[in-house]
Amino acid sequence: MTYAQVTPNTTALLRRNAMLATSLTQTAALPQPRWQANGALTVQPLTATDETEVLEFLAARPLHTVILVGFIRDNGLESPLNRGRFYGCRNTAGELEGVALIGHATLFETRTEDALTAFAQVAQTCQHTHMLLGEQEKVEQFWAEYATGGQPARLVCRELLFEQRWPVAVREAVPGLRLATQADLELVAPVQAELAYEESGVNPLERDPEGFRRRCARRIEQGRVWVWVEHGRLIFKADIISETEEVTYLEGIWVNPQDRGQGFGLRCMAQLGRTLLQETKALSILVNERNADAHHLYRHAGFKLRGCYDTIFLQNGDN
């Protein structure tokens, strides 16, 4: 099934504006004041004037901060598209010790345990968080503070961080591998929703169908969805979630179950890697630790294990 090129009519525009207004209201409702932590640290919302400083702070560990950087580069520090608010934690000298996005997805980069604790205390006041994501040790520390007054956990997943750099093996080409267009939306969206459901237990096409399709369409418009389609059937899909000069982070890699075991995934990943690594130094991906088939695929494609992450999906969140 295909989907015609999107050309919003007046009704669609009004609906979009209404949703944007709702998102702005939700963002504005997030905690705004300055927090004092341990008498030495303060936490407060970041603004557009902080962007250069924040990006320099995050640049110290590009493999682990690529998602946060992607949000900032795509949307800025202040945008409803972030589905949350960015906060900075500063010491008495005014220097950043941590940066966090707190909202639907809560992510953080900190230099000290005190900064991590401070962000956990702020996150307790946000009641529409869907998930927490971060390096295993940091999530454990964050959760130790957050759990006393935050949303209860619904599901906890351990994920492995893989990275690929040059060289990438040359394999049989896939002539049909290309960037998706809006005509592919109705092929891509159900697969992406299926992957989200398998990971989190929540189907976004049931929970927020219009918002989810809008986000999928935006990613296609940004040139970040790669597909292989033959005779109207999706064979392979991969999404670029965030891209910087240092790292490009991938998600949603999928091979049609009817076509697995034929080497299609390996061929597509090799071709995609050789293409993307012309513009960035590394590719990264998080893989559920229980997905042994995916581990085998990425290792065979030249990816190396770089770390362990935890994802905690929360109850009663804005899922």
The pLDDT averaged over each successive group of 10 residues in the chain (319 residues) is 32 38 42 59 96 98 98 97 97 96 98 96 94 98 96 96 96 97 98 96 94 97 98 98 97 96 96 97 97 95 97 77
How much is the pLDDT for 195? Answer: 96
How much is the pLDDT for 7? Answer: 34
Strands (E), the chain: 35-37, 41-45, 84-90, 96-103, 105-110, 131-135, 153-164, 177-179, 225-230, 233-243, 247-255, 282-288, 304-314
Q: Structure tokens of 221?
A: 């418009």
Residues 241 and 247 sit within 8 Å (Cβ to Cβ): no
pTM: 0.86
Domains of the chain: 31-151 (3.40.630.30), 164-311 (3.40.630.30)
How much is the pLDDT for 36? Answer: 61
Neighbours of 253 (CB within 10 A): 20
Nearest-Å Rg of the Cα atoms of the chain is 20
Residues 227 and 256 sit within 8 Å (Cβ to Cβ): no
For 178-217, the DSSP string reads EE--GGGHHHHHHHHHHHHHHHHS--HHHH-HHHHHHHHH
In the block, residue with structure tokens 């804005």: 318
How much is the pLDDT for 39? Answer: 65
Residues 307 and 135 sit within 8 Å (Cβ to Cβ): yes
State which amino acid sits at residue 129.
T
How much is the pLDDT for 38? Answer: 58
